[in-house]
Structure 1
Amino acid sequence: MLMGDDKLASFVLPAAAVARDDLVGWQEWCRTRLAFVPAPSLDRAAWRRLSPRERMIHDLHRTATHANLPLLQTPMSRLVEKVLISRIETNALKFKPTTRAGVMVTGGGYQGKTECVCEIAAAFEERWLALHNYLNPTARPGFRDLHAPVAYVQTPVTAKPKSTCKAILNFYDAPLNPRMDLPDLIHQVAVSLRDHGTKVLILDDITRLRMHRVDDQDTLDLIRAFMSMNVTLVLIGVDIPRSGLLREGRYDLTSGQWHLPSKRLKVNGLEPTQTERRFDLVELDRFHYDNDVQIASWIRHLQGIEDSLRLLDARPGMLTEDSTMPEYLFHRTDGVVGLLERLIEDGCREAMESGRECLTEDLLDDITIELTDTPQRDPEAGEIPDVPAPQRPPRAGRPRNTVFDDRGPAESLG
């Protein structure tokens, strides 16, 4: 059933994008992140039976559907979820005033690290709020602070200890006095985390820190010290092992964690070196295409995307059953989910505008993946990946993918 005029504005004229780096925006995003309803699937014959206005509305709804493809789980994201949710829930249930181990989530640009972590954290927040009847279990008498189990903060591009503290305080819309010195700001951060019942502090784009700069070294020491504030610290960054953030750390084979000392800053009068800061390091990798298991994972991901598309002449297996399409899409995107989403989104728009209403290699050959409209990303931190050239993969040298071939009953009985 097509959506009526009363619901038209909800997808044709969306509100401004929700900013997750403040409390109101984060909670709004958590509440609405799954609210989008995709367009119904129609073939060309059913579309032709619509009135001109109904066709226009349906086409707008299809465009919105392709622009809001769902976040699909991958084998890599399931690994991140397993590590992250285990650490968050274990730390949240601790009563001892000990330093909570943190998590570093690494990977290349456009691989969905932020969306993956935010989705995991939002699901934890929903469970935590429901568990406590949406009340802050640590609230103090006389205070009415909002309960914020999760705080999401972007690392400032030119991070310094003061600017990092201010970014965290801005999430809570906490009052800032321009004359506050660093110890006052650190104390205010500790108060805000405690009074809002925050269990998870996410610091995104952490690899914007440059370890050759003294300010950035001090900022990293400050961030490590936040782990003494009874929160799970989650750091997200591009290629963390090569960024220099771990250069003073040592890897513990027994625990599988990185142990990082803090040297420079004092926090609330305590020397951070009294306790080493421990991190689980987990990678959200891209897809690979080197063996049958990896190829099968890639094809299952393409099937999930295919199910979300609303092209009139789309056929089952449009992205997966052709002998060369899966490899073509991998070659165009290098297995990076963000580049794949951009290619599919732009390809669907071209298919609709041209009337072809189906994705083919010939159509996608004319699509150039442009990443120039992302001013919020820092190219120097590796947040914008290299885009493979739009050329066909070689036809020789690799056998046809036979992962899903039916080899018959005789071979099956083996």
Structure 2
Amino acid sequence: MSGAFYSLSRKEGWRRYVDAPARRQPDRLTTAQRARLGEQAREDYDEARHDWHANFGILRTPQLAAVHDELERIVFTNRQDPDRIRGAAVIDALPGLGKTTIANVFARGFDRAQIRRHGPVTDEGHERIPVFRVGLTSNTTLRTLNRMICEFYGHPATNRATAAELASHAVDCVLSCQTRVGVIDDVHFINPGRKDGLDVSNHLKWLANELPVTFLYVGVGLAERRFFADGLIGDNAVLAQTARRWTRLPVPPFEVASDEGRAHWRGLLKATERQLVLTHARPGMLTDLADYLFTRTSGHIGSFVTLITRGCFTAIRTGTETLTVDLLDTVRIDEASEQARNQLAAAFAHGRLATTPTRQRAAAS
């Protein structure tokens, strides 16, 4: 099984992610060409296709493009002097909508631009690290947050320092390496209603005050959890600093209730078709299944990619070499999509939903 093994929560892993060249799409061989391959060559070819389908290029969906436009505006206008507060961005959406991918891809592009413009070493001779990235856990405390930031940079004192010392080390790392963007994933694990969660939330504000960094947070259902209210309720909620400092960027799922939404959905299917390396793939292979694919995935990009990736694996393994309803029906994906499937199928069957544009349906009738 191929694939690289590294963590984006360490600078070495992040550097590999940022500097990795684009993967090369395997050639699409005909049945005759595949038949001429020896057994080992055919296994290698299939292995290359499995790896490609699990990692093909990022699909620039309307959701990704919209959030990236906002992030660019926020990051590139955060040019305030260190004595002024910088605004933060938070990507807040349901699971399976590509939040982390959107954040990572933006941060990777920013990192590449900074290195290209300013070089890999600062004027003081330190390694330039334009972006740091950490992911929180369900038991993140103030000390573990500081430790995770220090571990990203590879600071040697992470295991024996106090929380205050770790915070000082984290500030030193950011300033020395001239970091400009900090990505903090899974912030929904912070519960401002609990003391340890409130401590972490307040510490994030302190870091934002102390560091010349634009923070990019990623989380699930933060607005519904009243995360922006800092644990305050009633009239006191107006005192919440988070709601004033963070710009919330939602990521909606695909929808097919409007012609614009239908066009976006079919655009996703067409873009995905071009990425698939199956012998019997053809234009329209996915768009002909537009209703079915929406029924299976509820318009969630994560569920869609999982279904397609597993479907391609099955198509190659069984020799079918194409994606059909019968084949995809053998593939199970996340439970949320499976539970919503029957209800969506009924909506399509009764004409309450459709992926075909209104004008095209009118002409057909």
What are the residue-to-residue correspondences of 1:165-180 with 2, within 5 Å? 165-176=146-157, 180=161
In structure 2, the residue matched to 1:245 is 227
What are the residue-to-residue correspondences of 1:308-347 with 2, within 5 Å? 308-320=275-287, 322=288, 325-347=289-311
CA displacement at 1:97 relative to structure 2: 2.6
What are the residue-to-residue correspondences of 1:3-402 with 2, within 5 Å? 13-16=2-5, 18-32=6-20, 34-91=21-78, 93-137=79-123, 139=124, 144-176=125-157, 180-228=161-209, 229-248=211-230, 260-261=240-241, 278-320=245-287, 322=288, 325-370=289-334, 387-388=338-339, 391=342, 393-394=345-346, 395-398=349-352, 401-402=355-356
Change (3 A) 1:259 1:56: farther
Distance 1:131 1:285 in 2: 34
Encode CA deviations 1:203-233: one digit per residue, 9 max, x unaligned: 1000011233101011001011111111101
Change (3 A) 1:66 1:128: same
Distance 2:44 2:3 in 1: 15
Distance 1:287 1:161 in 2: 37
Matching residue's letter, 2:313 = R
Report the identity percentage: 26
Distance 2:359 2:10 in 1: 50
> Structure 1: where are the runs of 5+ without partners?
1-11, 251-257, 263-275, 372-384
Distance 1:100 1:227 in 2: 7
Higher deviation after alignment, 41-50 or 279-288: 41-50
Say what the alpha-carbon RMSD is for the aligned residues. 2.6
TM-score normalised per structure 2: 0.89
Distance 2:352 2:84 in 1: 54
Query: Would you say the 8 A contact 1:259–1:279 is kept in 2?
Result: no
CA displacement at 1:49 relative to structure 2: 3.7
SS at match of 1:312: coil
Change (3 A) 1:155 1:207: same
CA displacement at 1:331 relative to structure 2: 1.1
In structure 1, the residue matched to 2:235 is none
* Deviating 4+ runs (over 6 angstroms): 404-407
Change (3 A) 1:310 1:195: same
In structure 2, the residue matched to 1:375 is none
> Structure 2: where are the runs of 5+ without partners?
233-237
Distance 1:60 1:301 in 2: 25
Query: Would you say the 8 A contact 1:260–1:278 is kept in 2?
Result: no
Query: Would you say the 8 A contact 1:334–1:388 is kept in 2?
Result: no
CA displacement at 1:15 relative to structure 2: 3.5
Aligned residue pairs: how many?
354
In structure 2, the residue matched to 1:377 is none
The structure with the greater share of residues assigned to helix is 2
Distance 1:22 1:399 in 2: 45
Distance 2:82 2:351 in 1: 59
Change (3 A) 1:156 1:389: closer
Distance 2:36 2:360 in 1: 39
CA displacement at 1:84 relative to structure 2: 0.9
Distance 2:354 2:135 in 1: 44
Query: Would you say the 8 A contact 1:103–1:281 is kept in 2?
Result: yes
Change (3 A) 1:73 1:404: farther
